[in-house]
Amino acid sequence: MSIHSDDTRRVTTHRLQEMKARGEKISMLTSYDYTMASIVDGAGIDVILVGDSASNVVCGNTTTLPITLDQMIFLAKAVVRATKRALVVVDMPFGSYQGNSKEALASAIRIMKESHCDCLKLEGGEEIIESVKRILCAGIPIMGHLGLMPQSINKYGSYTVRAKEENEAEKLLRDAKLLEEAGCFALVLEKIPAKLAEQVAREVSIPVIGIGAGGGVDGQVLVLHDMLGLTNGFSPRFLRRYANMHETMTNAVKHYISDVKSCDFPNEQEQY
Ligand code: KIV
């Protein structure tokens, strides 16, 4: 039996919860544009994340902090247009929800209204719970994000593994339960010890999707550009590369340059 689903029905937050209940792992990848999202959706991914990692891999920033609400909406619109089956989750960018919960709701409504995505992802637990509750009250589904939270990089100063110490692990577990209690439909756990991630997945009823959080969770997410090998020079232990697109594309571009310079392209059949 194929492990790829032939089910072409749209993935919903409810269906993700059913997948957890029957032990079926959830697949999730980022996408930031129409062409990539068409490929990822067509291949049968369950969830597409329009991640604020676009700040790094699309815009060339060193952190996720500079990307704006307008830029996230621009990218999300293109991804939604391409997606027929996957659930589309959009990251709320840094600065759009951390302060006043009324402003958080206004940002959330803008993303939903303008991009037509399915739901939003926010980084943090107790500190942002008022914003989470207010957005949920408006009927907007939320995916939480705990562990390594790239929007807080300036607080920690590094992208090292989080929640290794007992007090940090206890806080993470508390935050996960708080987000579940508030009504989040799922949770991303980034770069934390596998044992802790497994414990969280066991102790909450909502799906837990890991990145660098081991195999004991309910699903996995990777940044598309990293798993395709489009980016090079970024090799954390948790990253498995499924292609070397950097090399493939470099070779294709070199081949094209050479064909243009040598007048091999275009040939008789490639003109009118
Ligand atoms: O922005 C992003 O790509 C993410 C994933 C790493 C989960 O938040």
| Domain identity same for 217 and 250 | no
128 C-alpha to center of ligand 1: Å?
Answer: 18
In a domain, 7, yes or no: no
**pLDDT band of 19, cuts 50, 70, 90:** very high
Tell me, what's the pLDDT at 1?
A: 43
| Domain identity same for 225 and 268 | no
Rounded CA separation 105/136 (Å): 9
Structural domains of the chain, count: 2
In a domain, 123, yes or no: yes
Rounded CA separation 50/63 (Å): 16
Place of tokens 């997410």: 221
In a domain, 214, yes or no: yes
| Domain identity same for 112 and 66 | yes
In a domain, 150, yes or no: yes
Tens-digit pLDDT profile for residues 31-60: 999 999 999 999 999 999 999 999 999 999
| Domain identity same for 237 and 248 | no
**pLDDT band of 20, cuts 50, 70, 90:** very high
Q: Is pTM beyond 0.85 here?
A: yes
Rounded CA separation 156/254 (Å): 41
How confident is the prediction for the chain on average, in pLDDT? 97
Instruction: State the residue range of the domain holding 258.
Output: 244-272
**pLDDT band of 8, cuts 50, 70, 90:** confident
Calculate what percentage of the chain has a pLDDT beyond 70. Answer: 98
| Domain identity same for 26 and 125 | yes
In a domain, 2, yes or no: no
Rounded CA separation 204/133 (Å): 18
| Domain identity same for 86 and 66 | yes
Using most ligand atoms within 8 A of CB, pick from 45, 63, 91, 119 the residue to mutate for ligand 1: 91
CB 119 within 8 Å of CB 108: no
In a domain, 3, yes or no: no
| Domain identity same for 227 and 249 | no
Q: Which residues pair with 189 in a beta bridge?
A: 146, 210
In a domain, 232, yes or no: yes
Q: Which of 114, 123, 180, 190 is catalytic?
A: 190
In a domain, 1, yes or no: no
Domain at 85, CATH number: 3.20.20.60
Tell me, what's the pLDDT at 233?
A: 85
| Domain identity same for 266 and 135 | no
Our answer to whether residue 190 is catalytic in this structure is yes
| Domain identity same for 202 and 249 | no
Question: What are the start-end ranges of the H helices in the chain?
Answer: 13-22, 34-42, 54-57, 69-82, 101-115, 129-137, 153-156, 166-182, 194-203, 224-227, 245-261
Tens-digit pLDDT profile for residues 202-243: 999 999 999 999 999 999 999 999 999 999 888 999 999 999
